[in-house]
């Protein structure tokens, strides 16, 4: 019996598997845009568990499953027994007997790991406090579409040492690019996976200009992630000077792209002139959540398909 594959962190995939998914996402995107129907998952069900808010993640998974011929079902913490304390192990056993794949957005990575350990079917991390691997699949797909291979390139992260930047770091090591990160003091990125991130893939400072210099892609995120709302005011003060502005973009390479996973706050972490400007690819990035995840779902459920 082949082992059930999950996508709980970016590093759960090999570099070769990532490249396959990026390629396959472009194939599926072309087919979708041309109106071709591709429905390899008739009768298959995805259960989606959301313990945090979402627009893109919910819609991209639900639309993606429908397009693949399957169905996606929404469960939230409050209205399900998850919110009343049913053990995650039991939830996993039950859900994986009635559905063919599970997606979960929650707080602790530990919960996702426990869910997967007790599931018969693939589990996808749709965001935890620690990681957001589906977003980085979409972001790199977007980079590839606009600029080609990301190997050897430099990505500047300006802002919080959070789930997004931690996932970028895993991707940098796996795919051979460099992450230059600038965080305010006290909000530095902490590495959780015990990996050794050498200077060829990671440079950290507290200075946005240092991070942006020579970058091929500049990216940021909200100052206050979901689950940290109580820190919002302190963060607003600590992140003063960390807005991605046109001046900051000018320190990057002339053809640098700007990305933001969204939702965005114009005038806080990014100036309107940047997110709505010519270097921004945020709408392609958002759309690519769906195409990248369709390729991921196909790979986890059906294995490698090359047609």
Give catalytic residues, as residue numbers: 105, 132, 135, 221, 261, 289
47 is in an annotated binding site: no
Q: Contact region for ligand CP (CB under 6 A) — 18-26, 48-56, 62-70, 272-280?
A: 48-56
201 is in an annotated binding site: no
The DSSP bridge partners found for residue 258 are: 218, 280
| CB-based contacts of 51-56 (< 8 A; 24+ apart in sequence) | 51/76, 51/77, 51/82, 51/83, 51/104, 51/105, 51/106, 51/107, 52/105, 52/106, 52/107, 52/127, 52/226, 52/227, 53/226, 54/105, 54/126, 54/127, 55/263, 56/261, 56/262, 56/286, 56/289
55 binds, among ligand NVA, ligand CP, none (CB under 5 to 8 A by kind): ligand CP
Is the CB of 55 or the CB of 79 nearer to ligand CP? 55
132 is in an annotated binding site: yes
The Cα–Cα gap between 267 and 254 comes to 23
Do 182 and 206 form a contact (C-beta atoms < 8 A)? yes
304 is in an annotated binding site: no
Instruction: Give the x-and-dash track for 241-280 against ligand CP (CB under 6 A).
Output: --------------------xx------------------
Residue 201 is classified by DSSP as T
251 binds, among ligand NVA, ligand CP, none (CB under 5 to 8 A by kind): none
- H helix runs in 68-162, sequence order: 88-98, 109-117, 133-147
Residue from 63, 144, 226, 273 binding ligand NVA (CB under 6 A): 226
Examine residue 111 and tell whether it contacts ligand NVA (CB under 6 A).
no
Examine residue 162 and tell whether it contacts ligand NVA (CB under 6 A).
yes
Summarize the annotated binding site for L-ornithine as residue ranges: 163, 221, 225-226
Residues in contact with ligand CP by the rule CB under 6 A: 54-57, 127, 135, 261-262
């Amino acid at each position: 019996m082949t082992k059930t594959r999950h996508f709980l962190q970016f590093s759960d995939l090999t570099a070769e598997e990532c490249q396959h998914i990026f390629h396959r996402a472009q194939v599926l995107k072309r087919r979708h845009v041309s109106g071709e129907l591709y429905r390899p998952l008739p009768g298959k069900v995805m259960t989606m568990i959301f313990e945090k808010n979402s627009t893109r993640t919910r819609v991209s998974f639900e639309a993606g499953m429908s397009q693949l011929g399957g169905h996606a079902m929404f469960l939230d913490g409050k209205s399900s027994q998850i919110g009343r304390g049913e053990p995650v192990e039991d939830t996993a056993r039950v859900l994986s007997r009635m559905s063919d794949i599970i997606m979960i957005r929650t707080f602790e990575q530990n919960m996702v790991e426990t869910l997967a350990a007790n599931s018969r079917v693939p589990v996808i991390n749709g965001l935890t406090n620690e990681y957001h691997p589906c977003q980085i699949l979409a972001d790199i797909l977007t980079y590839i579409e606009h600029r080609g291979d990301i190997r050897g390139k430099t990505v500047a992260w300006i802002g919080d040492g959070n789930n997004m930047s931690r996932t970028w770091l895993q991707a940098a090591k796996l795919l051979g690019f460099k992450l230059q990160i600038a965080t305010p003091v006290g909000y530095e990125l902490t590495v959780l996976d015990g990996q050794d991130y050498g200077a060829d893939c990671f440079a950290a400072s507290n200075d946005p200009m240092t991070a942006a210099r020579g970058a091929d892609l500049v990216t940021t995120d909200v100052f206050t992630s979901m689950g940290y709302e109580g820190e919002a005011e302190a963060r607003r003060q600590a992140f003063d000077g960390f807005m991605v502005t046109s001046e900051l973009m000018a320190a990057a390479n002339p053809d640098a792209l700007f990305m933001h996973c969204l939702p965005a706050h114009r005038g806080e972490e990014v100036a309107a002139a940047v997110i709505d400007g010519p270097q921004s690819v945020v709408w392609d990035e958002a759309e690519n959540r769906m195409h990248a995840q369709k390729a991921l779902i196909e790979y986890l459920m059906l294995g490698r398909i090359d047609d």
